[in-house]
């Protein structure tokens, strides 16, 4: 009998029905598409910004120099940990006890207000250190000269500026030989560093470096140092150097073998790992904001499909009267919803990728291919998910009531 | 010869309790293949309910309905859709063409739902439009056609699947006399080539075209007359 035959309505026909339905109200379809597009573009763009931020942190840590280990105090302020001292730094340069350590620089840092002529500028960090710091941190001079071991011994108030600081204070004029007041202490500029490139979150060029003794004498006092920057002899000797540093400092700080040391020795990779955790949180935060906008777009699809179904109740009645099964009607409206969100998804991918070419808030976004596939796939699923309620409503309409509808 | 419609003790009740409405109270009706039947009755008489049941758009509360030998009461919703598609051609008072869709596409629609391939579909739709005299209007959208033309497109759509019967609900209700004549002429032609037609109308001159007239009142058939031999009132 005829009713047992399975009518097989071609997929192409359902697609044509759906396209015709969408074309019937182009403005509305366009605006709904826009909602999805913004959501998808936001996901791609914000994930790109997040990964751009971690890429720039990676770059800035790489900019610290090669084969560098950072020794810092463990525990917060007020802890019982012994502070790091200049003597600790000196003790690390020991050809017998620490053959893998090439150089060691104690670092004190403090924010200062720099004044030159009529210009005042807040320098985020004034670094007091010894000359080895320059080679360890990959800092090269662009004009003038760097300070020497003599300058440190005599506590001369000389200053090497980062390029950003130099630009802020002297606006393009040559600062070498000029006087700068750092918190009312007079320093003489002897050199300007080459640019290391801005990293977005922390600008390595926005700095000023002076001899350790001069900074301690006039600004920070002769207490602890903030950290010790150590360079190992080669990349392969990093872990050996790390072990030697730990041994020497443990002895000096009287840490027993079973005790947790009151200092930390971190390599670039380890430093990177801790920073990466922070940026991952940041990326997840951005991605969830974007996901919410995608959800809002999806609700827009439901909304507009409900309107469409209500508007076309009569048409649905006609189609059912002449033999459209529930499944075909469901398919038609699901296809409409899915096409809407797929169009939106495709445009959103384009917008997201184009938008990622621009620098946003000092961060160069890095497009993550996975986020494109994810956002596009999710937008297709959104069509199915958010379209299923209106489509189900259309499919379950009773033909006589639908035909009676004005 | 087999009956196309065989209805026995058909009841249809809407609502429950106080608001219960008996739209049909025991209808018996047999329509043979090739008949041209007009159903008449005042509004509220139950004739529209009868048409909905005959068109498989609504299911009776009690009683049996056999369409072309199939007991419709046994069918699920999906099977009813298929029966509507294969066995019944609908013509409505308000034409009910799908808007923004050409005459040809409208006529093709039932064939799409029947799963007929594109080429075959096109051929049959063009033939159906030729039969109603609108082959030259196949590309027109409903809003570019007159009422009479729209109704003839609807007729082409109703007969394109080769249904067991054409079911028409006041097909000339919205038409002027000239269009009415055009549309009725098509019905006459269809009946002459052996199509079964069941038509609801309240106009005597429209019913006069049919060979047999059934009057419905208060949910029952009160009169069943044939132009050739009167069978008298049935209760």
Note the ipTM here. 0.90
Of residues B126 and A205, more confidently modeled = B126
What is the DSSP code (8-state) at residue B141? -
Which of A286-290, A317-321, B130-134 shows the lowest per-residue confidence on average (mean pLDDT)? A286-290
Instruction: List strands edge to edge, sheet with B62-67.
Output: B21-32, B3-14, B62-67, B70-71
Instruction: Give A343-361 as a DSSP string.
Output: HHHHHHHHHHHHHTTS-BT
Report which of A398, A221, A121 is spatially closest to residue B56, judged by C-alpha positions. A398
Q: Does B2 touch chain A (CB under 8 A)?
A: no
My answer on whether A138 and A33 are in the same domain is: no
In a domain, A150, yes or no: yes
| A326 at interface of B, judged by CB pairs closer than 8 A | yes
- The answer on pLDDT for A70 being more than 70 is yes
- Contacting residues for A309 by C-beta, under 8 A, at least 6 apart: A316, A333, A390, A391, A393, A394
- How far is A156 from A187, CA to CA, in rounded Å? 8
Q: What average pLDDT does this structure show over A246-270?
A: 80
pLDDT score of A5: 43
Residues A50 and A114 in one domain: no
> Could you say which of A2, A319, A399 has the minimum Cβ distance to residue B82?
A2
Mean pLDDT in residue range A215-233? 84
Which of B82, B90, B109 is opposite residue A3, by nearest beta carbon? B82
Number of A/B CB contacts below 8 angstroms equals 80
Do A183 and A297 share a structural domain?
no
Q: What 8-state DSSP symbol labels residue A285? A: H
Contact B167, B55 (CB under 8 A): yes
What angle is formed at CA B132 by the lines to CA B6 and CA A5, rounded to 5 degrees? 45
| Chain Cα centroid distance, residue A214 | 36
Compare A94 and B53 and report the one with higher pLDDT: B53
- Residues spanned by the domain of A133: 82-261
Interface contact flag, B58 A400, Cβ < 8 Å:
yes
Q: How many distinct structural domains can be found in chain B?
A: 1
Per-residue pLDDT at A2 exceeds 50: no
Q: Which residues in chain A touch residue B79, judged by CB atoms under 8 angstroms apart? A: 3-4
Mutation target vs B (from A25, A323, A401, A406; most B CBs, 10 A cutoff): A323
**What is the predicted pLDDT for the residue at A295?**
87
Residues A42 and A111 in one domain: no
Q: Does B149 touch chain A (CB under 8 A)?
A: no
In this complex, do A322 and B114 lie within 8 Å of one another by their Cβ atoms? no
Same domain, A49 and A137: no
Instruction: Tell which wins on pLDDT, A259 or B192.
Output: B192
pLDDT attached to residue B185: 92
Residue A283 lies in a domain: yes
Are B73 and B83 in contact by the 8 Å Cβ rule? The answer is no
Tell me the CATH number at B48.
3.40.50.300
Whether residue A279 sits in one domain with residue A207: no
Highest mean pLDDT among A186-200, A264-278, B176-190: B176-190
More confident residue, A10 or B202: B202
Residue B229: the pLDDT is 45
Inter-chain CB proximity A20 and B100 less than 8 Å = yes
If you measure CA to CA, which chain B residue comes closest to A10? B115
pLDDT in tens, A47-60: 888 888 877 777 66
Which residues of A fall within a CB distance of 8 Å from B77? 326
Q: Which two tokens stand for residue A304?
A: 């507009």
Residues B1 and B69: their CA atoms lie apart, in Å, by 11
Domain boundary among A230, A261, A292: A261
pLDDT top residue among A212 and A63: A212
Q: Which residues of B touch A13 (CB under 8 A)?
A: 112
Same domain, A303 and A332: yes
Q: Per-residue pLDDT tens for A127-172?
A: 899 888 888 877 888 888 888 888 888 888 999 998 888 888 888 7
Beta carbons of A130 and A106 less than 8 angstroms apart: yes
Query: CA A239, CA B231: separation in Å to the nearest integer?
Result: 112
Q: Are residues A250 and A290 in the same domain?
A: no
CB contact under 8 A, B96 and A321: yes
CB distance A119 to A204 below 8 Å: no
Count how many domains chain A has: 2
Answer whether A9 sits within 8 Å of B98, measured CB to CB.
no
pLDDT at A7: 56
Residue numbers of chain B with a pLDDT score lower than 50: 229-235
Residue A48's pLDDT is 87
Q: Is A319 on the interface with B (CB under 8 A)?
A: yes
Same domain for A251 and A148 = yes
Residue B54: per-residue pLDDT: 92
Mutation target to probe the A interface, by most A beta carbons within 10 A, among B82, B86, B95, B117 is B82
Question: Within a domain: residue A69?
Answer: no
A292 vs A80: CA distance, rounded Å: 46
C-alpha A193/C-alpha A127 separation (Å) is 13
Residue B184: domain span: 35-59+76-226
CB contact at 8 A, A194 and A202: no
Tell me the nearest-neighbour CA distance from B227 into chain A, angstroms.
31
Task: Specify whether A96 is located in the same domain as A200.
Answer: yes
What does the mean pLDDT of chain A come to? 83
- Which candidate from A3, A8, A328 shows the least CB-CB separation from B83? A3
Token couple for A406: 């004005």
B144 touches chain A (CB under 8 A): no
Beta bridge partners of B8: B64
């Amino acid at each position: 009998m005829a009713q047992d035959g399975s009518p097989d309505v071609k997929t192409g026909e359902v697609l044509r029905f759906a396209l015709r339905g969408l074309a019937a109200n182009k403005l509305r379809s366009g605006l709904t598409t826009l909602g999805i597009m913004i959501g998808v573009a936001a996901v791609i763009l914000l994930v790109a910004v997040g990964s751009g931020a971690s890429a720039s942190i990676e770059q800035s840590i790489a900019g610290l120099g090669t084969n560098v280990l950072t020794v810092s105090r463990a525990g917060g302020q007020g802890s019982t940990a012994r502070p790091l001292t200049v003597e600790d730094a000196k003790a690390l340069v020991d050809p017998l006890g620490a053959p893998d350590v090439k150089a060691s620089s104690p670092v004190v840092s403090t924010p200062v207000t720099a004044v030159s002529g009529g210009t005042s500028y807040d320098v985020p960090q004034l670094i007091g250190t010894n000359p080895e710091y320059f080679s360890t941190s990959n800092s090269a001079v662009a004009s003038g000269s760097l300070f020497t071991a003599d300058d440190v011994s005599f506590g001369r108030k000389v200053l090497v500026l980062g390029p950003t600081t130099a630009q802020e204070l002297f606006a393009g004029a040559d600062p070498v030989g000029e006087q700068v007041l750092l918190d009312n202490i007079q320093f003489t500029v002897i050199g300007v560093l080459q640019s290391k490139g801005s990293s977005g979150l922390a600008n390595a060029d926005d700095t000023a470096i002076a001899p350790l003794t001069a900074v301690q004498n006039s600004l920070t006092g002769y207490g602890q140092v903030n950290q010790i920057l150590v360079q190992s002899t080669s990349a392969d000797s990093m872990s050996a150097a790390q072990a030697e540093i730990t041994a020497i400092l443990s002895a000096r700080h009287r840490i027993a073998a079973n005790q947790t040391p009151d200092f930390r020795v971190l390599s670039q990779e380890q430093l990177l790992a801790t920073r990466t955790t922070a940026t991952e949180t940041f990326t997840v935060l951005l991605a969830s904001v974007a996901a919410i906008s995608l959800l809002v777009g999806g609700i827009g699809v439901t909304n507009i499909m409900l309107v469409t179904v209500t508007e076309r109740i009569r048409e649905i009645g006609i189609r059912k009267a002449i033999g459209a099964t529930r499944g075909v009607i469901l398919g038609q409206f699901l296809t409409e919803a899915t096409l809407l969100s797929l169009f939106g998804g495709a445009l959103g991918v384009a917008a997201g990728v184009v938008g990622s070419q621009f620098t946003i808030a000092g961060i160069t976004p890095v497009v993550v291919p996975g986020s494109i596939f994810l956002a596009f796939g999710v937008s297709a699923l959104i069509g199915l998910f958010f379209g299923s309620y209106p489509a189900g409503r259309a499919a379950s309409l009773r033909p006589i009531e639908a035909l009676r509808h004005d | 010869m087999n009956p196309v419609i065989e209805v026995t003790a058909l009841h249809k009740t809407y609502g429950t309790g106080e608001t219960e409405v008996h739209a049909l109270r025991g209808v018996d009706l047999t329509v043979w293949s090739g008949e041209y039947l007009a159903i008449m009755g005042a509004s509220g008489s139950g004739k529209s309910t009868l048409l909905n049941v005959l068109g498989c758009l609504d299911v009776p509360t009690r009683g049996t309905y056999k369409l072309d030998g199939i007991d419709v009461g046994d069918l699920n919703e999906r099977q009813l859709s298929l029966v509507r598609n294969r066995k019944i051609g609908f013509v409505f008072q308000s034409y009910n063409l799908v808007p923004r869709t050409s005459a040809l596409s409208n006529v093709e629609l039932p064939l799409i739902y029947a799963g007929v391939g594109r080429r075959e579909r096109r051929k049959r739709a063009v033939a159906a439009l030729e039969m109603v005299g609108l082959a030259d209007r196949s590309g027109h959208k409903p809003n570019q056609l007159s009422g009479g033309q729209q109704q003839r497109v609807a007729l082409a759509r109703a007969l394109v699947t080769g249904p067991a019967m054409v079911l028409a609900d006041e097909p000339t209700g919205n038409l002027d006399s000239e269009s009415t004549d055009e549309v009725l002429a098509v019905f006459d032609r269809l009946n002459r080539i052996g199509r079964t037609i069941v038509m609801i109308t309240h106009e005597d001159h429209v019913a006069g075209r049919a060979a047999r007239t059934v009057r419905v009142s208060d949910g029952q058939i009160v009169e069943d007359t044939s132009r050739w031999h009167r069978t008298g009132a049935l209760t």
